[in-house]
Amino acid sequence: MDHDLVVRQKMTEKYLLNELDSTARDEFEEHFFDCADCAVDVRAGAMFIEQSKVALAHTSESAPAGLAVTPRPLVKPGWLAGLHAMLRPFALPVMAVLLMVVGYQNLVTYPRLARSSDSPQVLPYASLNVGSYGSEGPVVTAASGKGFLLFMRIPPEGYSNYTAELYNPAGKKEWSLTIIPTAGQDEWAIQIPDAKREAGNYILKARGVTAAGDSKEVGQASFELQTPK
């Protein structure tokens, strides 16, 4: 199915409101599974519908009995099953808000993400040697809310993969990352994602995982994060 045809015929909106026949529905589903733009639009519309359940249910309860609408059977069962009957009396207001959501994404969110991904950046970084217990770690200076790079070196010990774990100054694990080593490689560049972090001493731990699934801590390294205002 051609993407331009999907846009012209507003098939995303028709799919969410179950207005496509079985053939068109199957073709559209095959299309959005391979089309990132349509997949995002469908997910955004589905999220909006889920958030609208409470408001729509409340409105349905207060509506006069004479306005009750007999639900039309779904053409094809799917993850939107059960919503069609509830949405049909309110199709126009739902569609209006849905179009506003999709329009905001297309005009604001997506271009901003595209600009961000296309713009080169110079990130703060530090080099860590895992296993250097007790040594004073390097200092990383990063603006509050911004990410940075850690170049982590692990002496090769024959593990199938490694797990890197970042612990904040309070000793709480923030995240973990699986690393698949290649022959002869002993250093990896890890991009720490943007987040509001407090300044202080952080610890990066590495665990080795054998082919049998056994895990063992192979070392750790610390660094100090400074967040100037």
Compute mean pLDDT per 10 residues along the chain, 229 residues long, and list them.
76 81 82 74 71 56 50 47 51 55 52 55 85 73 90 84 93 91 83 89 92 88 90
Per-residue pLDDT at 226: 94
Per-residue pLDDT at 35: 77
Per-residue pLDDT at 79: 42
Same domain, 33 and 136: no
Residue 208: CB atoms within 10 Å: 21
User: Strands 173-179 and 161-167, how do they pair?
Assistant: antiparallel
Same domain, 193 and 221: yes
Name beta bridge partners: 148. 192
Name beta bridge partners: 195. none
Domains held by the chain: number: 2
**Domain that includes residue 204, residue range:** 125-226
Same domain, 43 and 149: no
Per-residue pLDDT at 114: 54
Query: Cα-Cα-Cα-Cα dihedral of 35, 11, 1, 26, to 10°?
Result: 90
Name beta bridge partners: 166. 175, 204
Any idea what the CATH number is for the domain that residue 147 is in? 2.60.40.10
Per-residue pLDDT at 172: 95
Radius of gyration of the chain from its Cα atoms, rounded to whole angstroms: 26
The distance of Cα 108 from the centroid of its chain, to the nearest Å, equals 18
Per-residue pLDDT at 170: 94
Distant-in-sequence, close-in-space partners of 102: CB < 8 Å, separation ≥ 6 = 12, 41, 44, 45
User: Strands 215-226 and 139-141, how do they pair?
Assistant: parallel
Same domain, 131 and 214: yes
Per-residue pLDDT at 203: 93
Per-residue pLDDT at 113: 55
Q: What is the model's pTM?
A: 0.48
